[in-house]
Amino acid sequence: MAALGWLTPRRRSATARSVLAGEAAAEAARKSSQTIEALQELEGEQAPPAEPVFPVAGDVHAAAFFDLDNTVMQGAAIFHLGRGLYKRKFFHRSELARFAWQQAWFRLAGVEDPEHMQDARESALSIVKGHRVSELMTIGEEIYDEYMADRIWPGTRALAQAHLDAGQKVWLVTAAPVETATIIAGRLGLTGALGTVAESVDGVYTGKLVGEPLHGPAKAEAVRALASAEGLELERCAAYSDSHNDIPMLSLVGHPYAINPDSKLRKHARARDWRLRDYRTGRKAAKVGIPAAAGVGALAGGTAAAVALHRRRR
């Protein structure tokens, strides 16, 4: 056996062997760590860059533009305004029935029908004719508390607040009367509002519009004009809407969002990889809001007709 001694290393103490093993393991660990770091760097180069934080804090050349009806608020502002004016006896029950029918359609169909919206605007203009602007502003504050405050979508409100927290200005852009839009913007702490302007002389409404309703392409033109005046860069701005009618406005900015989108906007947004957010309990609003006076026959009939029409379309 002694002849095999040259094949067998001399015995060392346990302590010496432990030190040797530790030193070898440490050296191997250092080498493996270097290898892992190199692989991680390589993977990092190949991985797609993370999505940048948006909105960008401190970007004073960016702003956000929010549609109102069914984007920021459930339902249409002009219909809620009509409910409040009826309560204050600005018009008769027969006209309330028309407002109820229009509101039922809007809530059930989930889209802005041009004919209904135009009819609602004409009704509102005839109702306020001869009244003072200051009077409607005061009443509008009350109507907001009564019919609108609890219909603000929390999710959309949070999006607007994110822009405000980033130091950016936030505007509502809506076909609703500018006075109503301004009240809502003020209550939500937003910068201001772009809305349809009703003509007034010496502070009294004439029953006519200045230009046309702020709808569709007109919204895009309003945003473009405001951006120019404010020194904004549209490709750094964001816009939010539920309606395909607002595609011109959404296409104008670098960050378009489809909020509670109708079917046409949803399809358009998906085709262009726009961001989508839906805060409804279903694809369409689940609740149907009818004025408190809905017990009268005319309103009940209008609601039933809206339901029937909605079912036929489905």
Q: How many residues does the chain have?
A: 314
3-state SS, residue 239: strand
Q: Considering 59, 67, 150, 246, which one is annotated as catalytic?
A: 67
Q: Which two tokens stand for residue 185?
A: 């913007």
Respond yes or no: is residue 145 known to be catalytic. no
77: CB partners within 8 A, 6+ apart:
68, 69, 148, 174, 176, 180, 181, 184
Q: Where are the alpha helices (DSSP H) in the chain?
A: 14-46, 77-87, 93-109, 114-128, 133-143, 154-165, 178-187, 217-230, 247-252, 263-271, 297-313
Respond yes or no: is residue 67 known to be catalytic. yes
Q: Which two tokens stand for residue 159?
A: 């999006």
Angle, alpha carbons 150-153-154 (nearest 5°)? 95
| DSSP-assigned letter for residue 236 | G
Q: Give me the residue label for tokens 């015995």.
A: 11
Q: Give me the residue label for tokens 């809506």.
A: 174
Q: Which two tokens stand for residue 189?
A: 């702490």
Q: Considering 69, 242, 246, 262, which one is annotated as catalytic?
A: 69
Quick one: which of 146, 153, 174 has its CA closest to 82?
146
**Distances from the Cα of 286 to the Cαs of 109, 122, 144, 281, in angstroms?**
11, 28, 22, 6
3-state SS, residue 208: strand
List active site positions.
67, 69
